[in-house]
Amino acid sequence: MKGPRLPSRRSLIKGSAAIGAIGALQLASPFIISARGEVPLRIGMIDPLSGSYAAVARSEVEGAKLGVAEVNAKGGILGRQVELLVEDSANDVGTGVQKAHKLFERDHVDVLFGDVNSAIALALAQVSSAAGKLHIVTGGHTDGITGKDCHWNVFRVCNTTYMDADAVTQVLVDKLGKKWFFLTPDYAYGHTLQAAFVKLLTKLGGTYEAALAPIGTNDYSAYLIKARASGAKVLIDLMGGGDQVVSIKQFTQFGLNKQMALGGALFELESIQALPANARTGWWTMEWYWNQPGVPHVAEFVANIRKGTGKTASARHWFGYVAVRSVQLAAERAKSVDGVKMARAMEGMTLPPDVALMPGTFGYRAGDHQLMSSVMVGEARNPPPGDNPDDLFKVTALVPGEKAALPVDESGCTLRYPA
């Protein structure tokens, strides 16, 4: 089934039927999808379009653009066409906060998305809450976003760090052993992800050593020497985006892959694609995967991403797409784009199959606004000749979100709506 093309950087949507094709992304400056209509609904999106997380951030934007294109082609949201205004946080908290103020105060956005970087997402939540606007965190995983630092207006599409760790820890121990060395990014995401793994590993009788590495590290030799000297059987690589690619390349180049197994939580499609064949190994999690035979609407979504971008759809494309469609569903349910009314409407809201794009029934948990999608656990792979070259992950288990997540009363979240 043919779907709409994603709009290009400079395209002007002249009506719901005219949707342009996406060109090469040049996103250093604000990216605006314009739509005809006196009072468009504006969504602001802040993501690190430059730096270590640029590849996954761009995929989130592409997924959101597809969502906007589809919604506008069907008449918009509550009869209003949608504009997507994208800003680059540059992986910097101060820059992200500045961009959020611009989007709310100058561009008057109705909804905010972002950020991939968990520290920035936490800071953006303070701004969006004060502005009284709905905020969907598309790709920031640290637990506090829907835990102790939760806000009434903030919802999250991607998993918590605890969900990813809980889904895969037993598999890592069973497959690779329980003497681990963590290579962990030194900010909110890495801290909470390692803490979750440590809690679960020690319950299973495992031991560990660890090293924290800054985002943007280019030389991991000191960390890898420490990992080898630890005597650990497994390198648990928790780095993200481009940092994970660089660290795994060096792990392989230094020959540590002959001495230690490799695994962790997120091993995203963008990262696996960027690695040489001999580095595509280990047991990991995916939060969404494109190869789901028989699951309704998945093939159509994958085809539309391919048509618009030339890429194979990734979890990050799904995050951006789900965020846009969630705004549509919440506004229609609330019959309003008011922040409080949409937030109330999203609590407990189930995603329909054409948005969920994976097996099962799930939605946003009322107590903490966390999406309870399933976690995909499996093994990185090199497809044999004749297979799709982007079929780089074999899903071996689907762990329900409710099973992997901490209960609401243990998450630390207390939601307080405006009086």
Dihedral angle sign, alpha carbons of residues 414, 417, 418, 419: negative
Across 282-304, average pLDDT? 98
Q: Is the pLDDT of residue 346 over 90?
A: yes
pLDDT digits (tens, 9 = 90+) for 132-160: 999 999 999 999 999 999 999 999 999 99
Number of residues assigned to the chain = 419
How many helices (H) and strands (E) the chain has is answered by 14, 14
Residue entry with tokens 């996103």 = 27
Q: Is the pLDDT of residue 210 over 90?
A: yes
Dihedral angle sign, alpha carbons of residues 378, 64, 339, 120: positive
Instruction: Provide the 8-state DSSP code for 363.
Output: B
Name which residue leads in pLDDT, 200 or 27. Answer: 200
| pLDDT score, position 33 | 45
Residue 319, token pair as written in the block: 């995050």
| pLDDT score, position 337 | 97
| pLDDT score, position 334 | 98
Residue 215, token pair as written in the block: 């985002």
| pLDDT score, position 24 | 36
pTM: 0.92
| pLDDT score, position 34 | 43
Cis peptide bond N-terminal to 174, omega within 30: no
pLDDT digits (tens, 9 = 90+) for 90-137: 999 999 999 999 999 999 999 999 999 999 999 999 999 999 999 999
User: What is the CATH superfamily name and number for domain 162-286+375-404?
Assistant: Response regulator (3.40.50.2300)
| pLDDT score, position 16 | 31
φ and ψ at residue 136, rounded to 5 degrees: -110, 120
The SS3 call for residue 35 is strand
Residue 324, token pair as written in the block: 């846009």
pLDDT digits (tens, 9 = 90+) for 227-240: 999 999 999 999 99
pLDDT digits (tens, 9 = 90+) for 170-190: 999 999 999 999 999 999 999
Give the pLDDT band (50/70/90) at residue 219.
very high
Across 338-348, average pLDDT? 98
| pLDDT score, position 38 | 62
Give percent above pLDDT 90 in the chain: 90
12-159+295-372 with 162-286+375-404: one CATH topology? yes
Q: How many of the other CB atoms lie within 10 Å of CB of 29?
A: 10
Residue 386, token pair as written in the block: 């004749």
At how many degrees (to 10) do helices 241-253 and 54-73 cross?
A: 140
| pLDDT score, position 1 | 43
Across 41-62, average pLDDT? 97
Per-domain boundaries in the chain: 12-159+295-372, 162-286+375-404
- What distance in Å separates the CA atoms of residue 136 and residue 153, rounded to the nearest whole number? 8
Among candidates 240, 236, 224, which has minimal Cα distance to 194?
236
Q: Is the pLDDT of residue 220 over 60?
A: yes
- Considering the chain, what is the average pLDDT of its residues? 92
Q: Is the pLDDT of residue 359 over 50?
A: yes
| pLDDT score, position 419 | 85
pLDDT digits (tens, 9 = 90+) for 238-286: 999 999 999 999 999 999 999 999 999 999 999 999 999 999 999 999 9
pLDDT digits (tens, 9 = 90+) for 63-93: 999 999 999 999 999 999 999 999 999 999 9
**Pairing mode, strands 82-88 and 41-47:** parallel
| pLDDT score, position 288 | 98
The SS3 call for residue 7 is coil
- What distance in Å separates the CA atoms of residue 210 and residue 181, rounded to the nearest whole number? 5
Across 370-379, average pLDDT? 98
Q: Bridge-partner residues for 398, per DSSP?
A: 376
Topology of domain 12-159+295-372 in CATH is Rossmann fold (3.40.50)
Residue entry with tokens 């005597």 = 231
